[in-house]
Structure 1
Amino acid sequence: MTADSVLDSERAHLDLARTCLVTMRDAAERIADYGVDALASEALGRIRAERLAALEIDPHAPPFFGRTDNDITEGTAANRSGVETFHIGRRHIRDPAGDPVVIDWRAPIARAFYRATSKSRMGVTLRRRFGFHAGALSSFEDEHLDRGEESGLDSNLLRGEIERPRSGPMRDIVATIQPDQDDLVRAQLDESLCIQGAPGTGKTAVGLHRAAYLLYTYPERLRRSGVLVVGPNAAFLSYIAQVLPALGEGGIAQTTVDELVGHVPVRAVEPDEVATLKGDPRLATVLAKLVRSHIRKPVDDVLATVGDKRYRIPEYRVRRYVDDARRDLGDTLRWGVARDRLRQQLAEDVRRQREDRGGAPSDSETAKVARSKPVRAAVDELWPALDPANLLIRLFSEPELLRRHGGDLLSEEEQQTLLWAKVPRTARAAKFSAADAVLIDELHGLLNSADTYVHVVVDEAQDLSPMQCRAIARRCPLGSVTVLGDLAQATTAWAPGAWPVTLEHLGHPKTEIRPLTAGYRVPGEVLELANRLLPHVAVDVPPATSIRAGVDALTFVASAALVSAVQDCLSREGSVAVIVADDRAEAILQRLRDAGVEAATLDSSEVTDDTAASSFAEDDTPSGDRPATASDPNETPEIRVTVVPATAAKGLEFDSVVLLEPAAIVAAESQRVAGLRRLYVVLTRAVSRLVVVHDEPLPSELIAA
């Protein structure tokens, strides 16, 4: 077949797929509710809404992006060639007869599209990739694996898709998933993974696509008990919000750690050393001892009245009930459940006494005894109701209480560090810090059960404190996790700095650590420079390599050339950032404005939310240059230059980055290793080019041997 005839045939199949998708959606809209009962109607409505959301038609996403021709053992009347063709897309599409028109990328048969090679064909004779322009199929590229033809990353269409300009929220990468990524995406539900990914290797995308794969493969288990995605901040969650819906998956809980533990408002900021101490796992033991200290030993019988008769529950039996609850507390029993059980045990004791006397008490009568004033008073005395926020206030306000429960774990100096100078009158008046909120969540976990999930995806996990890890672990006590991060980018003072420690506190100590080292976002020259810091910031992290060499990707100039360097970046396409040590941001902003450069700070009102979403959010997936955005000449000119304090650069990306005085960024941190990690982060924010502006000597760790 000629290239034109192939395109005509594939365009006809594309039209068929689009027509069938519309038909499937119309059929879902016509699902009838026969009004059996309210519960059935509610369930049907939910199923129909989920189905319609999964079939939502995105005009910018073609129904398929690839195809495989597979060997079959025997030809059929309809297919004498012995080849079976599968078009691969974001969701399954069938024709009215029920035959597949497009295969979901997660289906087992689609795996060969990502994994087949000329040496291991997996039954594939031909792999075809498609190019699209404005929604129309415009080109194709074939790999005849049975002839030994294999393009790999040299595929023009694959590289073109990888480097396609992008803006706005993060998009899926189903068309460009590489074999090392696919191996992680298709890991089984019972397998926990820790993905150590260098900048631009696609670790975030891999984690999200794994969630989509698990939802497809284990629908009953996961739709019933759920998947939770934990991100570092609200901007990140907004950035990734459309990835899973674009893959036909919705209803996944997405939150930040702060939202997860948001039982109290956070209104205080404390020094790093205090936050680090509060994030120490020893505090979990202190809090558990504090809670247990409220259990009282019975000293009297409990008297319960039923009608005109009184029943005595002997002290020794009450003590046995309390001891049973104390023994189970923490492992199989939460404090609040133990209170309910103790009330029920006392009521059941009365039931047995009434039965021994020939009575026949009903369940409702026994429940009434459990709610009676004497029983409630006894339980309140022996096993009182506790409030997490008030407990923490007492612990950090009463030196003797802290010494009693933490004296064997915390030094005198550490105890003094934790004590509050000013004691709030009420929990509502207290100014809790973010670290306090995590401790309050720990107390909530001791007192009451939390919502749980079968699978949790945790991004930027290298920055979590042990206590934050425990908060996440409580939400996934029996399931699996996908842990994403980069130890070289750990910038919080409380970060453990080692995956085994983090995984231990996440409750999955045997999780396999898998590296991703092929970088798609950061140009090779820039990545090579950043990799020089790895031996000094994360010895066990393998260096990343880049598939993108970049054009004029790395240059060094003197500080006098700052403005001209920025203007040169503005002459090219895309966004521009000037990253500086925090205390120099305002001065550099003013210097640029004095030189006539339209610039804004990262948090300036002059930067719109849309601009922030399109230019500043790091797409930890393959990326290329972005085109400049056309603007109306009558409107205010778009501000393309953003002055970014170094501590705010994490998670962001820009087409061009002008980095001012690396030595000052390192010196701004309290410890040199922390400064070098900060420098590693800012060095890897550039998508296309990095200009290093300096007069001060570069950090010695950055200079090649």
Structure 2
Amino acid sequence: MSEHITYEEEQGRLARSLQDIENQLRSIGPKYTGDDFTEQVLDHQREERKQRLEIAFKEPYFGRIDFQEMFQDGVSVAKDNMALYIGKAGVAKEGGNELLVIDWRAPVASLFYSFTGGEALAEYESPDGEISGHVHLKRNFMIRQGELVRLVDSYVRGQEEGGVTDEFLLFRLGENKDNKLRDIVSTIQGEQDKIIRAERNKALFIQGVAGSGKTTVALHRLAFLLYQYEGRIRADRMIIFAPNRMFLDYISGVLPELGVGDIGQTTFGDWAVELLDHSIQLSDPSETMIHWFEERRSVEEWEQASGRWKGSIAFKKIIDDRLTEIQATILPTISFNPLPRFELTPEMMREWYDTDYGDETIMVKRDRLASRIRRWLESELKQRGISDKKIRAGAMSKLNSFVKKMPSFSALQLYTSLFKGKTALAGVPKALAKATADRLGNGKAASEDLAALTYIHLKLYGLHSAPFDHIVIDEAQDYSPFQLEVLRLCQRTVSMTILGDLQQGIHGYTGIHSWNELKGLFSEEDTGFYELNRSYRSTMEIIEFANYILGGMTGEVKPAVPVFRSGDPVVAEQRNNDDWLPAIHATIQQWQAKGEYDTISIIARTERESYDIHQYLIAQGVEVSLVNSKQPTYSGGLTVVPVYLSKGLEFDAVLIADAGAVAYENMDAKLLYVGCTRALHMLKLLYRGDRTPLLADWND
């Protein structure tokens, strides 16, 4: 225990802080409901302050760092030692003359995350330049309902450093999960903090192993950017792309806990359908993705048939060529002669098109040119004093006929033309062309069609809303280069956080095999690349087991490095078909009887298998929920989930329902890896018949 302040003194300090915050909350008047603009602005500021105070009242701070500033940009200043308390929301003391709590995003707060011990000078970047000095104390707090329930000193200057550095982290990692992702603001690690505070105007790629916290890092990065660039970027111009709606629900609590709202959260499919004005519907993924998983259609077959080709930059270039052809047909090649001695030449129309609307999109330029021709005609009629209604009506009729000859397309029409009729692309397999054209003809699109459809729409009509200030793409290993190119068009300046794990790239028929496939879309100076190889989710036993599953694979990703948190060994048990379902039931009963796990998941190979397990357990009187591809929420407790939908989720205990040779072949290593790395504390595998060849030499 530090000699700086005792446990009792910290309790007293906490009580005074809570009283101060409560006093400030009481002093905020009622919400203004009038029409005065100035009062509305002031009320908005009061509401923001109230929100910060309410966050602080729940947990005023989680850390303290005692820092003695010694140098500012190399110039000696030798100030007094300061005790800095770090929290989710910055709070000034009542009266506003002194900081009670420092916002975790403030420059000086970076010391709390970057300092790992030692008596050398520590430094941080402030608006005034580099500040360096000595850290005398680093302390972690856990505060619950106004009570100080845990205090851990991870560094005390002058004392020998023991094994307490990670004590607080290990304690937090050992806690059970509920049905929502939590913020990690009190346990952000140094390598994570560097990503969170990285400069804004880059495409930032994060390769993070399972459990490395990459999703929470990206969410905290959004909160940091709003703080760092206040007034220059807006929350309502940020967007998060997640793999599915259930995952969006799972992460929905993090940003509000950090005091951030109004950030768009969606899937690429939902965003694309909205961008296309709901002119298409997304076809059931069972027609493609689930079909592939359950029938084991090879990646090569999908590459040839659809997925990676439609998501490639080569396909984008084909579309660009078609768009160039379309644009050439828009400009009239003959004069417009609505009345005798009235002539608008093609040369004049081309000049308007090229000079007046040069930066507009194709259909916008077409519509503006049509409007310009109309204004020309009205001006000519007025200048020549032609007021006869019949003559004017005739001229307008000729105008309408002339404009109709200028082609107009929707994204769906143009994309369909690539696979149907005289304008269909040469060399496309007939089966693929027919399947795509038939699907589009029914107003539906497969996921692999969305990149092309949205790209065409953006080139024809542009983005309906303001460009995005920042884009987060989660599970980006499942994105195609074409999808990323589409999102690039939605920004004026590159500002993206792109995260994923190549080892969890289970959608190989559409996703990438190397980060270079996406990084190559940007100039080198516009990109950054970070690796998060330490896994904070699972015990050492689970991580080592998961690494074993991928042991025979090659690639650019390093194995996960576990935090030193030991737990129960991983267990694999053989069952036959007759006792397989009873064994699942018995395992769940045993785990629930122990009362140690709040969230338990049975991870099945397919949706069909998930359904069968769920029905059996229901018949046994077990309270269990079933997760499927159309489900918008994850409710926690005991769940059955197909492995491909488990990605991104976490559970206290995981039972792999069947890890037999029939269920998981060598090609399914990434899929089994995903399932196993969902477990925090306990992992067990059952297998029918022979175990998967992925575990042929594993000794449990």
Q: Identity of paired residues, percent?
A: 26
The structure 2 residue matched to 1:67, chosen from 60, 64, 67, is: 64
Per-residue deviation, 1:658: 2.2
Q: CA deviation at 1:55?
A: 4.0
- Work out whether residues 201 and 526 of structure 2, in 8 Å CA contact, stay in contact via their aligned partners in 1: no
2:313 is aligned with 1:314: no
Shift, 1:167, TM fit? 1.4
CA distance in 1, matches of 2:627, 2:160: 51
| Residue-by-residue CA offset, 1:641-695 (whole Å, 9 max, x unaligned) | x443333332333222222442446547xxx43x111111112121111122234
Distance 1:542 1:170 in 2: 25
Structure 1 residues 114-123 or 191-200, which shifts more? Answer: 114-123
Secondary structure of the structure 1 residue equivalent to 2:653: strand
Alignment of 1:172-251 (within 5 A): 172-223=183-234, 226-251=237-262
Deviation at 1:110, TM superposition (A): 0.8
Determine the C-alpha separation between the residues in 2 that align with 1:505 and 1:515. Answer: 19
SS in structure 2 opposite 1:84? Answer: strand
Quick check: 1:65–1:129 contact (8 Å CA) kept in 2? yes
1:394 is displaced (CA, Å) by 3.6
Rate the CA distance shift 1:43–1:528 in 2: closer, same or farther, 3 A.
Answer: same
Give, in whole Å, the separation in 1 of the partners of 2:648 and 2:50: 33
| SS of alignment partner, residue 579 of structure 1 | strand
Alpha carbons of structure 1 residues 351 and 164: separation in structure 2 relative to 1, 3 Å? same
User: Displacement, 1:508?
Assistant: 7.9
Aligned with 1:335 (options 342, 362, 384): 362
Give the conservation status (yes or no) of the 8 Å contact 2:246–2:632: no
Alignment-mate amino acid for residue 600 of structure 2 = V
**Could you tell me which amino acid in structure 1 is paired with residue 314 of structure 2?**
R
2:533 maps to 1:517? yes
| Mapped contact 2:363–2:408 kept (Cα < 8 A) | yes
Q: What are the ranges of 5 or more consecutive residues in structure 1 without an aligned counterpart? A: 75-79, 360-367, 616-639
Offset of residue 591 of structure 1? 6.1
Change (3 A) 1:220 1:653: same
What's the counterpart of residue 266 of structure 1? 282
1:547 deviates by 1.4
Deviation at 1:104, TM superposition (A): 0.2
Q: 1:387 to 1:102 in 2, by over 3 A?
A: same
Identify if the C-alpha distance between structure 1 residues 153 and 480 changes in structure 2 by more than 3 Å, giving closer, same or farther: farther
Report the counterpart of residue 127 of structure 2 in structure 1: none
Aligned to 2:171: 160
Q: Deviations over 1:247-281 (max 9, x none)?
A: 12212111111111013222455446355043333
Q: Where does residue 126 of structure 2 map in the other structure?
A: none
Residue of structure 2 in register with 1:389 after alignment: 412
Aligned mate of 1:402, from 410, 417, 424: 424
Partner of residue 286, structure 1 = 318
Q: Provide the residue aligned with 1:470 in structure 2.
A: 485
SS at 1:444 equivalent: helix
The answer to whether the aligner puts 1:654 opposite 2:681 as a matched pair is no
Shift of 1:97: 2.4
| Mapped contact 1:170–1:242 kept (Cα < 8 A) | yes
Code of the residue aligned with 1:559 in structure 2: it is R
Deviations 1:549-588 (A, max 9, x none): 4332312222268524444333332133333332544555
Corresponding residue for 1:620?
none
Is the CA contact (8 Å cut-off) linking 2:55 and 2:257 kept in structure 1? Answer: no
CA distance in 2: counterparts of 1:591 and 1:235, whole angstroms: 24
1:397 Cα deviation (Å)? Answer: 3.0
Choose the corresponding residue for 2:622, options 595, 598, 605: 598
Q: 1:94 aligns with which of 92, 95, 113?
A: 92
Give unpaired runs (5+ residues) of structure 2.
Answer: 72-77, 123-132, 290-301, 386-391
Instruction: Provide the rounded CA distance (Å) in 1 between the counterparts of 2:331 and 2:5.
Output: 87
Question: What SS does structure 2 have at the residue aligned with 1:101?
Answer: strand
Displacement of 1:467: 3.0
Please report how far the alpha carbon of residue 27 of structure 1 lies from its aligned counterpart in structure 2 after TM superposition. Answer: 5.6
Moved more, 22-31 or 386-395: 22-31
Does the C-alpha gap of structure 1 residues 289 and 47 become closer, same or farther in structure 2, counting only changes over 3 Å? farther
How far apart are the structure 1 equivalents of 2:572 and 2:433? Answer: 46
Of 521, 531, 535, 2:547 maps to 531
Match of 2:125 in 1: none
Q: For residue 334 of structure 1, what is the amino acid of its counterpart?
A: T
Partner of 1:627: none
Residue 140 of structure 1, CA deviation? 2.2
Contact (CA 8 Å) 1:550, 1:689: kept in 2 or not? no
1:304/1:149 CA distance change after superposition, 3 Å = farther
Q: Deviations over 1:348-376 (max 9, x none)?
A: 87799899x999xxxxxxxx99x976666
Aligned to 2:10, the other structure's residue is in SS state helix
Aligned partner of 2:297 in structure 1 is none
Q: Residues 227 and 2 from structure 1, CA distance in 2 versus in 1: closer, same or farther, beyond 3 angstroms?
A: closer
Kindly report which structure 2 residues correspond to 1:568-579, keeping only aligned pairs within 5 A, or say none.
568-572=590-594, 573-574=596-597, 575-579=599-603
Aligned to 1:85: 83
Report the count of equivalent residues: 637
1:644 pairs with 2:641: yes
Shift of 1:72: 4.0
Pair 1:441 & 2:454 matched: yes
Distance 2:477 2:559 in 1: 17
Q: Secondary structure at the match of 1:495?
A: coil
Q: 1:677–1:81: structure 2 CA closer, same or farther, 3 Å change rule?
A: closer
After superposing the two structures, state which structure 1 stretch, 214-223 or 293-302, moved more.
293-302
Residues in 2 aligned to 1:82 and 1:422: alpha-carbon distance in whole angstroms: 73
Matching residue of 1:255: 266
Contact 1:536 1:701 in 2 (8 A): no
TM-score (norm 2): 0.80
d(CA) in 1 for partners of 2:48 and 2:21? 15
Is the contact made by 1:473 and 1:505 (CA closer than 8 Å) also made in structure 2? no
Q: How does 1:104-119 map to 2 (within 5 A)?
A: 104-116=103-115, 117-119=117-119
CA contact (8 A) 1:279 1:494 kept: yes
1:297 to 1:84, Cα distance in 2 relative to 1, 3 A: closer
C-alpha distance in structure 2 between counterparts of 1:22 and 1:460, whole Å: 41
- For residues 34 and 133 of structure 1, the distance between their equivalents in structure 2, rounded to whole angstroms, comes to 38
Give the distance between the partners of 1:275 and 1:533, measured in 2 at CA: 29
Asked if 1:299 is matched to 2:333, the reply is yes
1:574-623 CA-to-partner distances (Å, cap 9, x unmatched) read: 133333332544555566677x5726462389xx998x3334xxxxxxxx
Counterpart residue type for residue 333 of structure 1? E
Q: Is the 8 A contact 1:301 1:314 kept in 2?
A: yes
Q: Report deviation, 1:499.
A: 0.8
What does residue 580 of structure 1 align with?
A: 604
Cα distance in structure 1, aligned partners of 2:654 and 2:14: 41
Aligned to 2:501: 486
Correspondent of 2:678 among 674, 682, 685: 685
What's the secondary structure of 1:220's corresponding residue?
Answer: coil
**Aligned-partner Cα distance in 2 for 1:603–1:33:** 44
1:160 positional shift: 1.6
Distance 1:70 1:465 in 2: 47
Tell me which moved more, 44-53 or 549-558: 44-53
Q: Which residue of 1 aligns with 2:693?
A: 699
Who is 1:540 aligned against? 556
Q: Deviations over 1:301-356 (max 9, x none)?
A: 22468xxx975322332244456689x5xxx431133124424654787799899x
Letter in 2 for 1:387: S
Q: CA deviation at 1:523?
A: 1.4
